[in-house]
Structure 1
């Protein structure tokens, strides 16, 4: 599977959420997370994609490194968390989270598929997004975990 370029919006460990604003061509602080909640890994989007919510597809970059807002890197997709997100107004839409490993990673060099990761990492990510959305008055429901092959099929580049 070919590597895809991702752009980091919110770095690993951050307690602030940033979003890229295409019209402004910059990153904007969207919100501050509640005490005790921080992004477990770098979070961003896959370039040249669009999800059901109209935004580029979300990606979590699992790595031993922490980058910075605006960092771009080539990553391999190892799977995804297929999810349904319900907004405060009750409207529901798919809002999957793709899982990626940077091509430069040395610690995760042998991780090629979601099943190669310790299950604790995926459990932690699912709980993070459930809590993160709950704090915003939304619901994040995990539908299933997808393999690398199935995740690439959803990307539709």
Structure 2
């Protein structure tokens, strides 16, 4: 990612977590039910159409990122945000991490890279508010989410492999790693 100024990429530089709590901020890029994948472009501080899903395919939940984080792929950490209904693209939602799908992916020209998908429940959710750990999700739902990510990666010329399903403690540890990588990249010591 090119060098950016905070004034230029406001959503990227929001705090990852709400002050004094375990809640994370999630910037929603793509709404639940959308066949279009949007991606935040910090250079213009707007969402761009990134790709179109295959016929009949839609995002199962809202999809976005945690600001002030970076993953091994050089992008902010990806989050699948579970809410009762679709949220609008571009909004910022407070959420509780319930786990992470530890994933690696590769292309024909690049080797394996980690590209984990965090799972979070919006704090405003009424029907999912008691969900605290991805282990509480029906196994079938996790299998369907993994199948969605695998198919989506395939449509984009990538091979994806789910390494592990982990709960909220591991998700928070990986979030901290992502925050540190962001700080080293965008806020170097003087």
Q: Same fold (TM over 0.5)?
A: yes
Q: Could you say which residue in structure 2 is the equivalent of 1:98?
A: 118
Residue among 17, 20, 31 paired with 1:11: 31
Task: Identify which of structures 1 and 2 has the higher relative contact order when contacts are C-alpha pairs closer than 8 Å and 6+ apart.
Answer: 1
Runs of 5+ consecutive residues of structure 2 not aligned to the other structure? 1-20, 180-190
Runs of 5+ consecutive residues of structure 1 not aligned to the other structure? none
1:39 aligns with 2:39: no
Residue among 75, 86, 90 paired with 1:66: 86
In the comparison of the two structures, how many residue pairs are matched?
157
CA drift of 1:88 comes to 3.0
Counterpart secondary structure, 1:43: strand
Q: Could you say which residue in structure 2 is the equivalent of 1:55?
A: 75
CA drift of 1:100 comes to 0.2
Q: Which has a greater percent of strand?
A: 1
Q: Could you say which residue in structure 1 is the equivalent of 2:14?
A: none
Counterpart secondary structure, 1:98: strand
Counterpart secondary structure, 2:48: strand
CA drift of 1:8 comes to 0.5
CA contact (8 A) 2:107 2:157 kept: yes
Structure whose CA Rg is larger: 2
Q: TM-score, normalised to structure 2's length? A: 0.80
